[in-house]
């Protein structure tokens, strides 16, 4: 070959090589530029061949994978989870086999720091210059925050939906509740006797009650939506309209008193209470009116004014003393009897505080009654109030306290009405003593018999002892003679025979046996008589005025002894006493009288049964126990019981079912008074016809001595 030709070819090859170098350098610069662009992109970018081997990636992907970019090339898939590897390989095959790009593939990945992240992945096929698929290009960006936000949004949406459902249900329930409340309120105002209406700002009626229908004389459907001008005459309507304007211009409550003309021509005095109401924004929306017809009250006031002088004269003419006290404790009424009884003129005490009236009486007792009266707002009776009369002597007052309330207010005064019961009290005491003496009198024969029996055998034993002593004295004479003969050395055969004969005559062995028995019987008889006398003494308690500690068990034992002759022929007595029962603060004699009355009544009730069955005795059971701060005494008999038709009357004075001459009818009445009034206790009974009766006495222990 020609050297020139060779040289030209070499020169051309050199030029081609230089051009190739230039192209390579250009391509390298382009590749570096592209790599810089790829590295600066916010997405993670990498590309793999058909076998899943990494061919390249950007910095963001390498940094997130935790491997240097140079060390990634040539490595297989870096997914840390086998399930993820399978998922990504299947996705890559879809691209290379089907030749279809895939976008917005959502998957999770474990980052190099171990945190799970969510990815939005886009995959496209990678082709060579001839268009053949040689791998896959993948870009992705982390959407963990968006995913969490979507999850939170979903949760929020669920909560919101639940809240909406709850609110909807609540609104529905509220609607139902409001409808029920409206129905209830309508029914409520319908039963109110006062006419009630409510209207809007235009003066149109939007509701009313039944009383308003009757008051206007129209049905509700003809009233609602109408103004006052449609319902009453023009003159009356204008007057009411002016009232409404006054209320609207000064929101709040207003009380309007007026006189109106009814359709029948009659005029009525009314008080109309009006008040504005507001809407949900707090703006006045209308008014409510409540009508109170006071025509009758006006007429009554006029009548009371006319009767004022007559009432004053009537008060002064009442035979009981009368003292009125208002809610401030000031005296408003003091009648003539009060003037005469306490020696204090009405003009000097009216307007004074009740505590300063100057009366000399048991203030503590009266104050307690006043407190009870004002608290219970019921009449309270205060008996046996000790006071000092004008002549300096003490007396007794019977007082009734009545509350006096001012209508429409909580103010309460009281009216004190009473009388001087000194004479009555003395008569009651005398009568009670007479009844007590009568009870003792009825028992006198039995007590005499009870005493006579032991006295009689004591007397017989004394006669026996006297005769026995005479015989023994005669025998002792023989013994003295025998001793003298023995001292003198005389024969004593005759003395011994006489003594022996005397011993046979007097039956010395009998005397030795019977004399101690006679002495013992006599001692028992004397003790029995002494016990009866002591019981009578304890039972009577003459002249006791002050309360003292009473041993209930001992009192019952004394009463059993005193009343023995009343019950021993018809009944046995059984006792069941609480030995730890405290003493009761009371009047021993009065309580003994109660026990005696009930035991004697029990014996009489049993005797009615025993007459029909003489072979059987009844039973009277007495028991005591503590119960609820009270001493409870039960006296039960097996008598005929109390007929149901008279049970409500057995404590009435002078009521008796016994034959004439056997009872005064005062026993249980006095017993009830003694227990309830004197001791603040309670006396009740339980009875069943044909089975018997139990009387139950409860005495308070709080003042026990």
- What is the reported pLDDT for 18? 66
CATH of residue 85's domain is 3.30.450.20
pLDDT of residue 429: 62
Instruction: Tell me whether residue 170 is in a domain.
Output: no
Euclidean distance between CA atoms 270 and 293, whole angstroms: 4
Residue 88 lies in a domain: yes
Q: Which pLDDT belongs to residue 527?
A: 66
Domain assignment present for 11: yes
Residues 144, 118 contacting (CB under 8 angstroms): yes
Report the chain's terminal Cα–Cα distance, integer Å: 161
Tell me the pairing of strands 571-576 and 618-627: parallel
Q: Could you tell me if residue 115 is inside a domain?
A: yes
Show the tokens assigned to 394.
Answer: 């003490």
Compute CA distances 585 → 111, 429, 486, 580, 677, whole Å: 96, 20, 74, 16, 14
Residue 162 resides in a domain: no
Task: Report the pLDDT value the prediction gives residue 538, as an integer from 0 to 100.
Answer: 58
CA–CA dist 121, 138 (Å, integer) = 7
3-state SS class at 639: coil
Domain final residue, candidates 540, 563, 594? 540
pLDDT at 634: 93
3-state percent helix, strand, coil for the chain, nearest multiple of 5: 50, 25, 25
User: In terms of domains, do 133 and 86 share one?
Assistant: yes
Strands (E), 230-359: 253-261, 267-278, 284-293, 321-325, 331-334
pLDDT at site 696: 92
Distance from C-alpha of 431 to C-alpha of 71, rounded to nearest angstrom: 132
Q: What is the pLDDT of residue 660?
A: 40
Number of structural domains the chain divides into: 6
Asked whether residue 594 falls in the same domain as residue 691, the answer is yes
Q: Determine the 3-state secondary structure of 528 from DSSP.
A: helix
Cα distance between residue 396 and residue 428, in whole Å: 12
571 and 685 share a domain?
yes
| Residue partners of 522: CB distance under 8 A and separation at least 6 | 457, 458, 461, 462, 465
CB contact at 8 A, 377 and 456? no
pTM for the whole structure: 0.36
Indicate if 444 and 493 belong to the same structural domain: yes
Residue with tokens 């206007």: 216
Domain boundary among 293, 320, 337: 293
Alpha-helix residue ranges (DSSP H) falling in 275-421: 295-317, 336-342, 346-349, 363-376
Considering the domain architecture, whether residues 379 and 514 belong to the same structural domain is answered as no
pLDDT at position 69, please?
A: 78
| Residue 423: both structure tokens together | 């004479």
Residue 535 exposed, middle or buried by CB count within 10 Å (0-12, 13-18, 19+): buried
325 lies in which domain range? Answer: 308-420
Same domain, 132 and 221: no
Is residue 359 domain-resident? yes
At how many degrees (to 10) do helices 508-540 and 552-562 cross? Answer: 120
**Phi/psi of residue 514, nearest 5 degrees:** -85, -30
> What CA–CA distance (Å, rounded) separates 419 from 342?
11
| Whether residues 373 and 445 fall in one domain | no
The tokens for 321 are 């003393």
Domain assignment present for residue 631? The answer is yes
- Give the per-residue pLDDT at 433: 58
If asked whether residues 219 and 344 sit together in one domain, one would say no
Task: HSE, CB side, 13 Å, CA atoms: give it for residue 330.
Answer: 7
Phi, psi (rounded to 5 degrees) for 56: 175, 170
Query: Is 383 within a domain?
Result: yes
Shared-domain flag, residues 473 and 356: no
Q: How many residues does the chain have?
A: 705
Residues of the chain with pLDDT under 50: 80, 308-309, 543, 660-665, 704-705
The radius of gyration of the chain's CA atoms, rounded to the nearest angstrom, is: 60
580 and 686 part of one domain: yes
Looking at the structure, do residues 515 and 591 belong to the same domain, yes or no?
no
Q: Single out the residue in 376, 392, 420 at which a domain terminates.
A: 420
416 with 456, same domain? no
């Amino acid at each position: 070959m020609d050297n020139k030709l060779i040289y030209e070819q070499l020169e051309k090859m050199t030029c081609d090589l230089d051009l190739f170098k230039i192209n390579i350098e250009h391509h390298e610069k382009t590749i570096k530029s592209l790599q810089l662009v790829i590295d600066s992109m916010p997405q993670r970018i990498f590309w793999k061949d058909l076998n899943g081997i990494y061919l390249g990636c950007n910095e963001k992907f390498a940094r997130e994978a935790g491997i240097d970019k140079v060390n990634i090339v040539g490595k297989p898939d870096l997914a840390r989870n086998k399930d993820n590897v399978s998922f990504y390989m299947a996705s890559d095959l879809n691209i290379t086999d089907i030749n279809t790009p895939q976008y917005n593939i959502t998957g999770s990945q474990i980052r190099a720091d171990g945190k799970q992240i969510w990815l939005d992945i886009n995959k496209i096929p990678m082709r060579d210059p001839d268009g053949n698929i040689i791998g896959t290009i993948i870009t992705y960006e982390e959407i963990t925050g968006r995913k969490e936000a979507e999850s939170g949004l979903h949760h929020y949406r669920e909560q919101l939906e639940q809240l909406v459902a709850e609110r909807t249900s609540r609104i529905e329930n509220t609607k139902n509740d409001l409808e029920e409340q409206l129905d209830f309120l309508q029914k409520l105002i319908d039963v109110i006797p006062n006419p009630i209406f409510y209207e809007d700002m235009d003066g149109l009626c939007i509701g009313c009650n039944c009383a308003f229908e009757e008051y206007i004389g129209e049905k509700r459907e003809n009233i609602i939506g109408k103004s006052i001008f449609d319902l009453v005459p023009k003159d009356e309507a204008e007057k009411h309209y002016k009232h409404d304007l006054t209320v609207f211009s000064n929101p709040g409550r207003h009380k309007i008193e007026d006189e109106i003309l009814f359709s029948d021509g009659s005029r009525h005095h009314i008080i109309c209470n009006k008040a504005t109401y507001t809407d949900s924004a707090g703006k006045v929306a209308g008014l409510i009116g409540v009508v109170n017809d006071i025509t009758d009250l006006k007429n009554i006031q006029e009548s009371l004014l006319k009767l004022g002088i007559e009432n004053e004269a009537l008060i002064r003419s009442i035979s009981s003393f009368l003292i009125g006290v208002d809610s401030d404790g000031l005296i408003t009424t003091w009648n003539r009897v009060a003037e005469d009884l306490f020696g204090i003129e009405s003009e000097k005490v009216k307007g004074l505080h009740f505590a300063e009236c100057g009366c000399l009486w048991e203030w503590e007792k009266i104050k307690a009654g006043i407190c009870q009266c004002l608290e219970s707002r019921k009449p309270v009776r205060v008996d046996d109030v000790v006071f000092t009369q004008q002549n300096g002597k003490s007396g007794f007052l019977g007082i009734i306290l009545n509350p006096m309330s001012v209508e429409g207010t909580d103010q309460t005064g009281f009216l004190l009405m009473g009388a001087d019961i000194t004479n009555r009290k003395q008569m009651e005491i005398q009568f009670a003593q007479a009844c007590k003496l009568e009870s003792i009198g009825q028992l006198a024969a039995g007590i005499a018999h009870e005493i006579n029996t032991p006295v009689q055998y004591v007397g017989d034993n004394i006669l026996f002892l006297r005769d026995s002593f005479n015989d023994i004295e005669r025998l002792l004479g023989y013994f003295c003679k025998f001793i003298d003969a023995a001292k003198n050395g005389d024969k004593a055969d005759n003395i011994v025979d006489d003594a022996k004969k005397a011993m046979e005559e007097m039956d010395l062995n009998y005397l030795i046996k019977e004399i101690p028995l006679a002495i013992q019987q006599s001692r028992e008889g004397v003790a029995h008589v002494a016990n009866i006398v002591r019981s009578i003494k304890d039972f009577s308690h003459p002249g006791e005025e002050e309360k003292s500690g009473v041993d209930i068990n001992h009192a019952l034992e004394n009463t059993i002894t005193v009343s023995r002759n009343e019950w021993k022929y018809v009944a046995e007595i059984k006792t069941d006493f609480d030995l730890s029962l405290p003493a009761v603060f009371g009047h021993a004699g009065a309580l003994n009288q109660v026990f005696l009355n009930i035991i004697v009544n029990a014996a009489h009730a049993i005797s009615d049964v025993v007459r029909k069955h003489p072979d059987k005795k009844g039973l009277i059971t007495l028991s005591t126990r503590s119960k609820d701060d009270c001493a409870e005494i039960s006296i039960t008999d097996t008598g005929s019981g109390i007929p149901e038709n008279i049970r409500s009357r057995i404590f009435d004075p002078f009521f008796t079912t016994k034959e004439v001459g056997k009872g005064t009818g005062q026993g249980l009445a006095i017993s009830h008074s003694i227990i309830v009034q004197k001791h603040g206790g309670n006396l009740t009974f339980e009875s069943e016809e044909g089975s018997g009766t139990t009387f139950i006495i409860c005495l308070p222990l709080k003042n026990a001595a």
